[in-house]
């Protein structure tokens, strides 16, 4: 259709009809003209190409979501490379996906730490802290996900001015900050990364982060690597050292809250990636509602990144705990099944005491 419009092969009446169809499908404003609707036209042309090059239309839309690679990062945490060409073509820094490993599983949101548009692949990090993330980590190279939806949410906010920006990753939130760090650097900013973990063995993706930052500060609670302490200790030092114009923090809620409280008096623009419980991921169910600036927002649709100075973290933490009991039972049931099946190939499973909630930025459990 895009090509027909571009080549003026439609009658004025057909053109008007097709235009109204596109507006309806894409939910766009009536005031937009065909000429400004470049994206829609390009999409139509792309799909026409897929149809014409594929033996069957169904095959043109079929994605297998096959695991091409699986790499151990640290205890119970793996990096997966997955075939997902349509998502890889469109995803931007800060957006996330929702996955189902099999047809009976729940849907969990996961952040994407990298992608290759030409190869049509995504990289995700999954840390096994609940039933579904444990099931994912039991999958092997060659296995396929039942389905993956994305890209979801808004891309990360990028400051208008150019200056020194800080990206902070706590635990496996480190993977989620890499695409945004790359974008900030590409815009001419000086980018400083801070990553924190409880010990050296729990640090992940530090080399990848160094590849997109001017400087990376590492903190460990037990002083086994980098400087001793928390990410906020390193941030405090940076704030006194130079003028920071923008901070992004992704990780556990207490960490994001502490970062926001530290930058608030200095009025440093600070964004956090909110790990609300999610179900559909499209703004339809309301499960992920969060309070930001005394307004209700949907983390999946308006976020996941929000102004950390406006977020009601108490409300977020309260909602995250809503299904702790059910999640514990689900994980125990899964582990009991595992123990009964002695032939099953397994990885060690950590009975994590962390809050088991859904999180773009922290691959953990949903409902």
Residue 32 or 282 with smaller CB distance to ligand FES: 282
**Near ligand FES in 274-293, by CB under 6 A:** 278-281, 283-288
- How is the chain split among helix, strand and coil, in percent rounded to 5? 35, 25, 40
* Residue pair 247/268 in contact by the 8 Å Cβ criterion: yes
Residue 126 — φ and ψ, nearest 5°?
-125, 125
Residue 250 or 279 with smaller CB distance to ligand FES: 279
Q: Is the dihedral of CA 206, 350, 137, 133 positive or negative?
A: negative
Shortest distance (Å) from residue 149 CB to ligand FES: 11
Beta-bridge partners for 108: 99
d(CA 24, CA 296): 27
Q: Does 203 bind ligand FES (CB under 6 A)?
A: no
Residue 217 or 287 with smaller CB distance to ligand FES: 287
Residue 1 or 279 with smaller CB distance to ligand FES: 279
Which H or E run includes 366? none
Shortest distance (Å) from residue 109 CB to ligand FES: 8
d(CA 199, CA 197): 5
d(CA 159, CA 266): 16
d(CA 363, CA 357): 9
Residue 266 or 285 with smaller CB distance to ligand FES: 285
Does residue 72 sit in helix, strand or coil? strand
Residue 22 or 323 with smaller CB distance to ligand FES: 323
Shortest distance (Å) from residue 288 CB to ligand FES: 3
Shortest distance (Å) from residue 131 CB to ligand FES: 18
Length in residues, the chain? 367
Tokens of 70: 């699986």
Residue 82 or 278 with smaller CB distance to ligand FES: 278
d(CA 296, CA 42): 35
Shortest distance (Å) from residue 277 CB to ligand FES: 8
**Selected binder of ligand FES within 300, 316, 331, 357 (CB under 6 A):** 300
Beta-bridge partners for 97: 110
Taking the C-alpha atoms of 291, 270, 186 and 242 in order, what is their torsion angle to the nearest 10 degrees?
180
Span from 77-85, 154-162, 294-302, 342-350 in contact with ligand FES (CB under 6 A): 294-302
Shortest distance (Å) from residue 276 CB to ligand FES: 7
Site size with ligand FES, rule: CB under 6 A: 13
Residue 189 or 366 with smaller CB distance to ligand FES: 366
Q: 353, exposed or middle or buried, with CB in 10 Å at 0-12, 13-18, 19+?
A: exposed
Quick note: the x/- pattern for ligand FES over 207-246, rule CB under 6 A, is ----------------------------------------
Tokens of 63: 């994605």
Span from 29-37, 209-217, 247-255, 298-306 in contact with ligand FES (CB under 6 A): 298-306
Shortest distance (Å) from residue 273 CB to ligand FES: 14
* Residue pair 135/334 in contact by the 8 Å Cβ criterion: yes
**Selected binder of ligand FES within 22, 78, 298, 313 (CB under 6 A):** 298
CA end-to-end span of the chain, whole Å?
A: 41
Residue 228 or 318 with smaller CB distance to ligand FES: 318
d(CA 181, CA 195): 13
Shortest distance (Å) from residue 168 CB to ligand FES: 24
List interacting residues with ligand FES (CB under 6 A).
Answer: 278-281, 283-288, 298, 300-301
């Amino acid at each position: 259709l895009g090509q027909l419009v571009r080549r003026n092969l439609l009658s004025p009446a057909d053109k008007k009809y097709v235009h109204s169809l596109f507006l309806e499908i894409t939910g766009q404003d009536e005031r937009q003209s065909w000429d400004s609707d470049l994206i829609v036209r390009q999409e139509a042309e792309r799909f026409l190409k897929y149809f014409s090059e594929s033996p069957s239309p169904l095959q043109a839309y079929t994605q297998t979501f096959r695991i091409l690679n699986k790499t151990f990062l640290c205890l119970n945490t793996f990096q997966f490379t997955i075939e997902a060409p349509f998502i890889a073509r469109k995803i931007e820094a800060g957006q996330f996906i929702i996955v189902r490993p099999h047809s009976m599983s729940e849907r969990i949101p996961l952040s994407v730490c990298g992608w290759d548009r030409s190869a049509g692949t995504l990289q995700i990090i999954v840390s096994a802290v609940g039933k579904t993330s444990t099931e994912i980590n039991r999958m092997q190279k060659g296995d396929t996900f039942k389905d993956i939806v994305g890209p979801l949410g808004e891309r990360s906010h990028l400051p208008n001015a150019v200056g020194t920006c800080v990206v902070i990753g706590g635990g496996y939130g480190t993977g989620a900050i890499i695409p945004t760090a790359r974008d900030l650097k590409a815009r001419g900013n000086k980018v400083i990364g801070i990553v924190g973990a409880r010990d050296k063995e729990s640090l992940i993706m530090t080399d990848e982060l160094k590849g997109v930052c001017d400087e990376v500060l590492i903190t460990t609670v037990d002083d086994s690597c980098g400087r001793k302490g928390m990410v906020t200790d390193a941030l405090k030092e940076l704030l006194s050292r130079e003028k920071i114009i923008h901070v992004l923090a992704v990780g556990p809620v207490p960490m994001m809250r502490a970062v926001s409280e530290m930058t608030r008096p200095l009025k440093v623009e600070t964004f956090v990636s909110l790990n609300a419980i999610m179900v559909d991921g499209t703004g339809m169910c309301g499960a992920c509602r969060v309070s930001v600036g005394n307004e209700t927002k949907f983390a999946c649709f308006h976020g996941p990144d929000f102004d950390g100075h406006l977020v009601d973290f108490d409300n977020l933490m309260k909602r995250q705990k809503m299904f702790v009991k059910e999640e514990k039972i689900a994980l125990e049931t899964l582990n009991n099944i595992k123990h009964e099946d002695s032939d099953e190939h397994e990885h060690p499973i950590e009975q994590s005491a962390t809050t088991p909630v859904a999180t773009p930025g922290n691959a953990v459990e949903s409902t």
